[in-house]
Amino acid sequence: MPENRFASQTRTTVRRWHTSSYTHEEAACVEVSEGPVTGVRDSKNRDLGALFFPAGEWAAFVRAVRRGGL
């Protein structure tokens, strides 16, 4: 598998995580922790760790989603 120089997977440390305001208690969704490095994890499987992205790369991803590019 090709090396990804942006994302990394690690066990989570103390961070403030949040979900979308559209999230329902029973729904499967992701949680996000924002900062200089943005963390993304599965809300139903937190013990599996998280993926972390540099803030600029995360912002580019969000812009692409909003434009309908992904």
What span, in angstroms and rounded, lies between the C-alpha atoms of 50 and 11?
Answer: 6
Region 40-48: mean pLDDT is 88
Q: What percent of the chain has pLDDT over 70?
A: 77
Q: How much is the pTM?
A: 0.66
Q: Cβ(11)–Cβ(41) under 8 Å?
A: no
Around Cβ 12, how many Cβ atoms within 10 Å? 16
pLDDT in tens, 6-21: 555 455 455 788 887 7
